[in-house]
Structures are given as C-alpha cells and as structure tokens.
Structure 1
Amino acid sequence: MNSINKISHFTGKINSSFIDSQKNFSNYKTYKDQISLDKYNASLNEISRLVDSLSLLTKGNQEFMKILKEKYQSENTILSLESDIDSIIETQLNPAKNNVSKSFKLNKFQYKKILDSIKTDSYIKVDSVSKKGLFTRLGDALAGKMDVQKEQLKITVTMKYNDKVVSGSIEDQFANMFNTTNKYYENQFKNLKNSFASLRDQDSKLTELNNKLLNLEAEIMPHYNKSLNVLQGNTQKELLDRYNANKAARSYTIIILIILMFVISIVLFSFTRMAFQYEKRLTTAQIKIRESLNFKNRIMGMVSHEIRSPLSIISIYSKMISSSIKDPEIKETFKSIQFTTNSLLLLANQILEYSKDENYSPKLNSKNFHLKEEINQIIYSMTSLVESKGNKIEVKSNLVSDFEVYSDATKIHQLFYNIIGNANKFTKNGLILIAMNVENNSGKQMNLKVEIQDNGIGIAENDLKNIFELYYQGTVSGKVNDLGVGLGLNLCKEIVELFGGKISVESQESKGTKIMFNLILSLV
C-alpha cells in the first residue's frame, strides 16, 4: 500500500505539473514575456524529474509491472517524452545562432561621426590683366574699352561615409547624407521584419513541441493510472482476504484460549484444593510443633531448675574439700571443679530464663570481675579435657591482673568453652594456641582481641562460608564422633555481636583452623 501511495503521489504531481506548464505556455503565447517562458521551462524540468522518479519507483515494484502490460512501449514512450522535454528546454536555454534571431534593437544613426569627418577647402581663382602703356590705356578709355581683373571663389566639402570618403559641393553632400540615412533605416526595418519572422517560427516550433508533449502525456499517464487502479483493487482485495483470514484465525484462537483457560482453571482449582489440604495439614503440624515446643520448654525449665540443686551441692563440697586439703595440686583441681560448677549454674539459670519466655532475646548481664583471672580460670578448667585427647594448650597474652571490667562473665565462659571445645574436638595429639591482645579504645573501654588456633583436621573451603549458620555441620560430620548439632559457632557469633565485636574463621584441610574475634569491654 505504501508503494501504491507513492506511485499515486507521483502521478498526481506529474498531472499537476503538466497543468502548470500549459498555464505558463498560454501566458507566454498571450504576453510574449520572459517570466512566463522561464516558468514554463521550470515546469518542464519538474515533469522530467517526476517522470524519472516514477520510472525508478515502478521498475522496483514487480506487481505493478506485471499489471502494466504495455511495459516496453511505455518505457519507450517515457524516453521519447523525456527527450522532447529536454529538446524544448535546450532550445530555450541554448538557442542555435542560425535558428534564432537576435533580439531587435533600433540603433540611432551615428551622424556625429560624419560631422566630425567634414573637411572644407576654399579656392580663389584670379584672372590677371596684362600691363599696358599709358597711351594704350588712354586710347582704350576714349574708345570705351575696359580691362578688369576677375576673381572666382570655389568651395569643396569632403565627408566620410562608412569609411568611404566622398568630395563634392555642399548640395551634393546634403543629397548624399539624406540618401545614406534612408538606406540605413531601410536596413534596420528589414532586420526588424526578419526578427519578427524568426520569432514566429520559434513560437510555431515551440507550439508543435508542446502539442507533442501533450499527446505523449495523454498517451502515457492513462496507462499508469489504469494500472494503478487495478493494483489498488488487487491490493484491497488481498487485504480484505487477509483480514477475513486473520478474523477467522483470531476467532479460533479465542476459542482455543477459552478452552485453555477452562483447563487451567480446573488445574488451578485442583491445586487450590491441594494447597488448602496442605495448609490444613500445616496448621495441624504447627499446633503439634507448638505443643512440642511447649513441652520442650517445660522439660528444659524442669531440668534447669532441678539441676541447680546438685550443682550447688557439688560446688559446696568442692569448696569444703578444697579448704580442708593442703596438697596444692589437688586443691587447684577442686577449685577448677568449683569454677566449672558455678559456670554450669549460671548456664542453667539462663536456660531457665529462656524456657520462661519464648520471645526472650539474649542480652548482657554485666557485673564487675577481673578479666585475666576469669579467663585463666576458664582455660585451667578445660586443661584436663584437652589433655584427655593428648592435646596441649599454650597461652600468649598481654593481659595484666589489674584489668577489672564490667561485663557478662557467663557469655565469655560460653564463648571460650565453645571455641576451645571445638578445637579440642577436631584435634588429636596436637597444640591449641590461645593468643590474647588488649587495645585501649578510650579511658572507659578496652578491645580484647583473641585468636584460638589448632593444628587439627581443618575445615573444607566450601564449608567456610556456611560455618556460622544454624545447625550447619559441614563435610567433617562423618569424621568426628560426638559432633553435636551445629549450634556452637552460631551461638559464638551471636555472643560476639552482643559485645560489639566481629568473628571470622581461617582454615585449610589437614592444616588446622584459626578463629579470630574481638570483644568491646567496659573498664571499671
């Protein structure tokens, strides 16, 4: 359709340009002015350009050329039309010298040149009288005879007529002047007559070419218009057929979509029903889980409550035995038992608090204590556990005894017990190195940096990114007995963040593990 519109556009413009050219030609025939002739030439140029464009456009349209039966004849006619247009324009723009007369201009008679060439010569002719004696003259006087000296004046005028010099009397020159003027204007009017005759011939030729142009236009354009109308009809029919086909396809598509939507609705209904049943089961399971959690909290609370009395008794007996024994080594052993028992009492109290409130969020229960003494007691209490697997503990620290802090000692116990316990669990006949360094942040706080390193079996690289996740045990779960449930490091991360610190792990398989963390503690 776009191609058809272009062809229709060019044919319309060609017809319009033909009409403009004939208007301008009519004006020229009427007024014989140069402006109308120039406009006529401009219209012909525009027609030539449009015909070229139409030829290129139709040659590229195969459907149009099939319909245009007089293809070759039309092409030849178009070439003839272009040739005639070019000849008309060439005649007007570049006229031949022998075909077109020059524009007539009446020249003035150049009389000044003749006047400037006039020369006048004067001649005086004197008839002299012979001299006579005295008596001879007296005798002539008496006889009445008289001898007189005669003078004759002769004037000659010379003029130049068209490089021809003519001499004569004044009367002759005036006669020559009028004859020359008459001949000059006779030639001028003869040229004027020839010029008008030549213009009539040119106009006749121009009219003949213009008529031929009109005939060619009348012969060519109907072919294009007829073919264009046929192509438009075919295209509209084709579009109508496609529209009907698309309409039918759209109707079938809508029917198929309705059926498909019906099927999907049935499937969705089935899934919704299944989801409802699963939701019902999940609700039932949630109720059971809640009941199980309540039962678990009840058991934990009961165990935590009941375990405090035996631990208190163990602590009292340890204290009594330690005070009655004088052997320093045994005394220190009972002190460790007492310290461990007190730590278990603190943990049991925390578990009892958790069991009372499900939404209980961990927080620091701070008190005053000496940091170095507390950490040394923790490490000493775990020495026997570490030595049971053939491991040794080595401590490097810059802690001084006068550091008294206000913080949560129980959570520090949990932190060290879990990390040292993990190092001992994954190491056999090895070394557990504990390095502690204290930095003063300000006059009221200190930063305790701790590194606990072992040379045990290590952690796989794939497990390092998940090591702090809840219940994560990694690939070593099959290599270690009494592995636990994967709560230790997650709990350690939670405790370290409560103290405002950070924790990280470095490890390689078969080369050991290093755990680094820091705690921000308030100074007393």
Structure 2
Amino acid sequence: MRLQERINQAKLESDRGDYYDALGNLENALEIAEKINDKKNQGIIHTKIAKVRYLVGETDNAYVSLNTAIQLQRENNDYANLAVAYNIKGVIHNTKKEYEDALEYYNSAKNLYEQEDLEEYISEVTLNEAKAYIALQRYEEAKAHLEKTIILSKKYEQRRLLSSALIQSGKVSSALNNNELALTQVEEGLVIAKAYNHLENTNEAYLTLSDIHKARGDYKNSYDYITKHIRLSDSLLDIKRESLAPGMTSQSINKYKDAEKAQLIEQIEEVNAESNFTRITTILSIALITILSLLTLSLYKNNNIRLKTNNMLHKKNDELIVAKEKAELASKTKANFLSTVTHELRTPLYAVTGLTNMLLDENPKDHQVPHLKSLKFSGDYLLTFINDILQINKIEANKVELDPEIFNLKNKLENVMSALSNSAKDNGTELHFDYEDGLPEIYNGDQLKISQILINLLGNAIKFTKDGDIWVRAYKIDQKDDMYRLRFEIEDNGIGITKEKQDEMFESFSQGSVQINRKYGGTGLGLSIVKGLIKILKGKIYLKSELGKGTTFFFEIPLEKAEKVEAPKVEETKQSNKMGELDLSDVKILVVEDNKINQMITKKILNKMGLYCDVVDNGEAAVEQVKSTSYNVVLMDIHMPGISGLEATKIIRTFDKELVIFALTAVTLEDKMHEFGEAGFNDIISKPFKQEDFEGKLYDVLSGKGVVSSFF
C-alpha cells in the first residue's frame, strides 16, 4: 500500500474509532515517508499519530510526536500544518487544565491560519479558545470567540462546530444569568447534533440542558435530560471500550457480552429452583428489615437536632469556601487584568520615551526643547505610575520577597536625605537629621525596601511642606541580644491632614482630597506601597497630624545588628562612553520585534552606540536567522505572531547553548519570570528601559566583562 493510501486508510479507521488499526497504518506510512525523505508528510503523520495517541489516552507519547511534528514543520516552513499541530497542543494543555498555555498555542495556530489565508480552519481554534475561557470563567471573552465561531461555521457549513458552538454559548449565557437565551441556544445546537448524528455534541447538550433547567428550578426536565445523558454516556463508553481494546474485534466483544447474558439467565433459573428456601429467607429478611427500620427511626429522631446543627455548620463552611474561592478568583482576575493593561501601556510608552530621547539628542530648535522635556517628563511620570500599580499588585499577591544584606543604616538615611535635598531646597524647606547616640549603624536587613519606604515618606513631606522644616529621626525602642526594634520619624510642619482623612491615607489612590491631588500631583499610591512594604518587614506604621500645623509619620521595624562590612567598590555606571574603546566592526546583533516603530527605535539606539543590527519580525524567522548567521547578541521580544519569543528561544537552545539572548519585552510581573529562565534567556530588559542600563548590559557582554549565563 502506498504512502497516501495508508494515510487515507488511517483516517477512515480513526473516524470510526478503530484507533489501534489507525495507529498501525500511520506508523507504516511514517516508515515509507522516512525512506523517501518526505519531510512534509513526516510532519503531517507525526501530527496524526499525536492526535490518535491523545484519543487513546497516551498523552505523554502524543506530546513527543507533536514536538517532532512541530520541529519538522518549522524546518519546512509548513505553516498550515504547523497551525494544526499548535491547535492539538493547545487541546492537550486544555485537558491538563493548563489553560493559559493552551490559549497561547491556540493564538499561535490562529495567527498562522490567518497568515496562510485559511479562514475555514479558524473556527475550530476559536471554539477551543472559548472552551478555555469558559474553564477560566472569563465569560465575556468566551462569548466573543463563540460568536466568531458561529459566523465562520455557518459560512463554511461546519455543522459539528456550529452545534458545539451553540451548546457552549448556552453555557456562557447561563453563567451570565440569561437562562432563557441559554435554553434557545442549546436546543438549537441539539437539533443540529441529532440531525447530523454528532453523538458527543448530543450528549453534551443533554448535560447542559439538565444544568440549565436545574438553575431555572425545573427539576423534572433537569432529571429527564440527565437520564438521557447517562444512557448516551454508557453507549459511548461501550463504543470507546471496543475501540480501545487492542487485538479484540467488535465480534469477539459481542460474544463476550452474550456469554455474560447466558450466565445471568442460568443464575436466575437456579434461584427459581430453590424458591421454597428463598420464600423462607424472604420472610426472615422482612422481619429483620422491620426491626432495623424501627431502630433506624428511633436513632433518626434522637439525632435529628444534631444533624440539623451539623448541616447548618456545613452550609456555613461551604459558604466560606465559596467566598474564599470567589475572592481568590477576583484577586487572580485583577492580577491578570493589571498584567495585560500594563503590558499594553508599556509597548506604546517605549515608542514615546524612545522617540523623545532621540529628538532631544538631534539638536532640536530652542523653542522645541521645553515641549520635548515636558513630553519626557510625562512619559517618565506615566512609567512611574505603571510601576507603582505593579508593585501594589505584587504586594497584595504576596509575591514580594525579602532580600536581606549587611548595610550601614546611618549612611542609608543620609544618602536618602542627600538625594532629596534639591527638592527640599526648591520648596525653601530645610532638612534636619537626628540619629540616636550609641545606636549601632550596621544591620542585616532589606535595605532596598527600607530605602523605598524612606524615599516615599520623605518625598511626601517635602511635597506638602513649603518654606518649612522637616526632621528625620531614628532611635531604639527595644532590644533583645542583637535584635533591635527601631522607630523612624519623618516630621514636617507643612499643610497637615484632617482627622477625617487620616484613616484613609494608606489606601490606594488616596491623597486627602481632589484639590490636594490637583495642586501637588502624584498618584496617591506611595503610602499604600509603604504600608505593604512595612508589613513585609514585620513592622507597623501610624501617623499623627493637625491641619495647618504639620504631619509626623512613625514606622517601626525589627533589624538585626551585624558586624561592620567593607564598603562596596563603586562601579562605573555610565558605559556609553566606553563603547568607543571596543572594536564593534564585527559585532552582530539580531533584533526580533514585530512592532515597526519599536524596530526603528531599537535600531537607532544601537546605531547611536556604534552597533549595527539585523531585524526580523517573528520567532520563526529568528530561528532561521540564527541558524544561518553568527550573532553576538539577540534582543528577543516575547509577544509576536506565530511562535512567541519564549518558544523561539527554546528552539534556539536546542542547537546553540552559548548565544547571549536578552528578552527585550514589556512583560514585568515576577510570577512569569521563571518562564524566561526555563526558555533559556540570559537576562531580561524591560521596556521602556533606561538607555544607560541597556548600554551597560551590552557593554559587559561585548567586552567579555560579564558574559552572562542564565540569570535564574
């Protein structure tokens, strides 16, 4: 039998449920394809083998076959079949409840179908996406994908997909408390499923209708549909058992079933032959059952109150569990929302800050400079705002960890005051410092978080104090061995805070009043961050204030006294001047970025540093470019059409372990960071970046001073 004939035969066998026969034909077809070196059909066959192995429950083997298929399809630029493989991979992730991973593969499959102008295949992917969103309880997103599925499946007369999409739409409508619409949608899907004998869809429609009727309080119809579902499920299981029994034909299974029936009949006849004995046994059984029933009734009455009490407790516990689950879901939804929004904001912000810096460096006209500086200030302010939101999100999600180190507390306080002294002078305000005599200076603690707390509190005091004084104090309130409990005070004689507003000061977006917000600026997030950081440091914060007379913030934290540590050597932070020391003539950098504006900005920044680069706009092209050209550094974006930057980096690491790859991305949430390390990135540069930091990392790599391995 020839190659294509075996593939066609395998499809027929798979469609009728003869999976093991289909697998045999596919393996034979693969041998033929390998002998004639037909790479395209090898990829197709591996995809089909993966699908069959998934259907028979061999998920791990399916994954292996699928990865082989994907590798072959990438090598052959077979994007249409690569989309098929991505869709199946998404289904496997969905089955394993790895919904976010599934959605990434579905999105890649959809992008490839669109790229190849294969619209008719998109409907299956959008249906799968909708199912993932339903599992995540993101019903509005599921609804949008189902609407697209319905439109496409009607256009291309895909009855199975249309039926399933209508049933899934019913689930969404029911979840959104529109049970009447839900009934109409599912019943329409059921009619189509029955008309075209789609048993799986019919069975799902029965179950969904049972759930909807139950939600409406119609328990009779709910019971009828669940009964139909159970019966059809049994039939489908029988069919599946037959198809999953290797070496056992349907005829032999029928003989086995007949033998079982004959044995049952024989047992019934034996019971009839001993009817007299059975009659006596029955009488005794009835007597015993009567006694047991009376005893049970007595126990029921005695325990009725206790059972009611327990039921009430269980109900209360169930309500608490549901409330907890809802709170966790709300928290996760908020985190996902913030991650998405901040990513979408950072991408255009990279263009704004990048273009502004370029224009400032290109000798603008004098009257243009103030406008450009205002634009730069606005971009920096927006970035600070985004970072504040992200930090609050991380604090609330308990994703901020302590990073203790030995440091000089007195020097730290002096450095913070020195850094903000110019702002104080601009306001005509004088800073005063009081560090308790005899108080140790060297401690082991998280100095970065302490700095952030001090900068926020002192910055606030300066902002609200004009032509006044601010006092910063540090002193001991308790000591046990080397563990000190220290109190810090930041006192000002500025505008003060009303009694009514003091309780709200540590809440997000709170600044006392709208008028204060407009006059003094700021987002109102600083004190919320301070409170969260102090809680992480196992401390507490409070304040006292009087309107028109000033405010004092107090915070207390435990710190462990440590031995004196040598001052770290001061590193050169400005690397851009040092680029001239390097021979950059043979340096090759690859920029992988799908956004045209960001391509132009990154390229101009590199050119300004004396570096030249190649640019590609997708992950597949990046893999091919790295295979054909030797690069020193790759700057890889993450979210791109086709395969993502993560996936592209994983592929590159299969044949090149040494190449330096930076993730140049707007992704910032730390709970995603492990994925970068697992994919094989050396470091991450978050967009928009400070140009000197970017130049510093490139200088370290190109000079050989800091050739980085994985940063995880």
TM bracket (short chain): 0.3 to 0.5
Q: Which has the higher contact order (CA 8 A, sep 6+)?
A: 1
With the length of structure 1 as denominator, give the TM-score of the two structures: 0.34
Q: Which structure features the higher share of strand residues?
A: 1
Task: Kindly name which structure, 1 or 2, has the bigger radius of gyration based on alpha carbons.
Answer: 1
